[in-house]
Amino acid sequence: MSGSIKVVTDTNVYFMFFYDSASKAGKLIEYAIAGSTELFSPDTVREELKRVLVRELDFDEAQSEKLINYLPTRWVDKEIYQEFLTKAKIIKHMPDRPLMALAIALNCGIITANIKDFKPAAKLVKIWKIDELLEVLNNLRKAKLS
- Residues in contact with other proteins by CB under 8 A are 11-12, 15-21, 26, 29-30, 33-34, 44, 47-49, 51-53, 55-59, 67, 70-72, 78, 82, 85, 94-98, 113
Shorter beta-carbon distance to other proteins: residue 68 or 108: 68
5 or 112: CB nearest other proteins: 112
Per residue in 94-130, is it b (16+ CB within 10 Å) or e — as a string?
eebbbbbbbbbbbebbbbbebeeebeebeebbbbbeb
Least Å distance, CB 29 to other proteins, is 6
Q: How far is the CB of 122 from other proteins (least distance, A)?
A: 21
Give the nearer residue to other proteins in terms of CB position, either 29 or 105.
Answer: 29
Q: Least distance from C-beta 139 to other proteins, angstroms?
A: 21
CB of 20 to other proteins, least distance (A): 8
Write down the least CB distance from residue 132 to other proteins, Å.
Answer: 21
Beta strands in the chain (DSSP E): 5-9, 37-42, 73-76, 109-111, 127-128
The candidate with the shortest Cα–Cα distance to 48, out of 32, 64, 24, is: 64
Sheet containing 127-128, strands listed edge to edge, beginning at the edge strand earlier in sequence: 73-76, 37-42, 5-9, 109-111, 127-128
Which of 78/126 has CB closer to other proteins?
78
Q: Which residue lies nearer to other proteins by CB, 15 or 75?
A: 15
